[in-house]
Amino acid sequence: MKTTIWGLCVPVFFALAAGFMGALHPVGDSFAVFRLPLAAIAVVLCLILLRVSKGGVAAVSLAVVAFAGLPAALKYVTGAQAASAGFVVYQKNLLFMEMDRSDLIADILSVGPDFVTFQEVSVPNLKIMEALQDAYPFQKHCYFAAVGSVAVLSKYPVAQDGKLCAPGITALQTETPNGPVWIVAMHLHWPWPHEQADQLRDTLPVLKGLKGPVIVAGDLNMVPWSHTVDQIEKATGTQRVGPVHGSYDLLGVLPIPIDHVFAPGGGQAELRGKMGSDHRGLVARVGL
């Protein structure tokens, strides 16, 4: 039995370790998506090894696995900061299909955020932006992919030359009571073997070129402990707003945190319902 368990451990440990290699190759971030379930499986295997072999190698392996998985797990209960003198952002991947979105529109209006960021703004979903026009008269959407555009809606007027489109990015520089602030809606492709890494190479210089405070919100199709998220934080001088929330159910059963909000001063995020989408929304109170 011990040989069988070790045979299971090797690929699980390899996949877990690969999830820390996103800076070396994009496949690392693909494995990082599954870090917590892989760590849980590895812990169970190590506990079985401890029972059947009572060896030091199994104990060391258990410690290493715990060290690998614990920081990611803790992000679900830590990481929120008080957002003093900041803004409220409503982030939502709409899902490109035509649905009744009256609940979503009502929820956005009841929250009354300063900014709204959308992904998958298909032709049917343009009706949502139209319904919010009175409350958010300053709007911009840029084409991204077949699933739809990426959009920013703002209560505040847009600065001169303050509109920008890039692959998977829509950005507005808004004139707020606290001065000019860039609000960026972002949608990344799925990770390797899809085009996420290539897209990020194109968009990071754009993000680095934004002058002044930047708030980013979007569906990144990537988890908070990834190299991808780390690069976005560094490019924009922001912190990811916490804590972590499982915003999308992978394969319909595994909630994974792939929707994010970033701000210079961090902040606090809460989860909203799906309301006709396959993603849950986020409401973030962020600071500059």
- 70-112 pLDDT per residue, tens: 777 777 777 666 666 589 999 999 999 999 999 999 999 999 9
Rounded Cα distance between 122 and 284, Å, is 24
In the chain, the domains with their CATH numbers are 2-74 (no CATH), 87-286 (3.60.10.10)
pLDDT score, position 169: 97
Rounded Cα distance between 191 and 28, Å, is 10
**DSSP calls for 148-161:** EEEEEEESSPEEEE
> At CA 269, angle to CA 266 and CA 272, rounded to 5?
155
Query: Is residue 45 predicted with pLDDT exceeding 70?
Result: yes
Average pLDDT, the chain: 89
pLDDT score, position 64: 65
Q: Write the CA distances from 283 to 82, 205, 280, integer angstroms.
A: 14, 27, 10
pLDDT band at 5 (very low <50, low <70, confident <90, very high): low
pLDDT tens per residue across span 226-249: 999 999 999 999 999 989 999 999
Rounded Cα distance between 12 and 117, Å, is 37
**pLDDT, greater one: 60 or 211:** 211
Between 35-49, 227-241, 250-264, the lowest mean confidence (pLDDT) is in: 35-49
How many other β-carbons are positioned within 10 Å of the β-carbon of residue 173? 24
pLDDT tens per residue across span 202-213: 999 999 999 999
Half-sphere exposure at residue 162, Cβ-oriented, CA atoms within 13 angstroms? 22
CB 30 within 8 A of CB 191: yes
Both tokens assigned to 229: 């998220």
**pLDDT, greater one: 22 or 280:** 280
pLDDT score, position 34: 87
Query: Is residue 67 predicted with pLDDT exceeding 80?
Result: no
249 bridge partner residues: 255
Greatest extent of the chain over all pairs of C-alpha atoms, in Å: 69
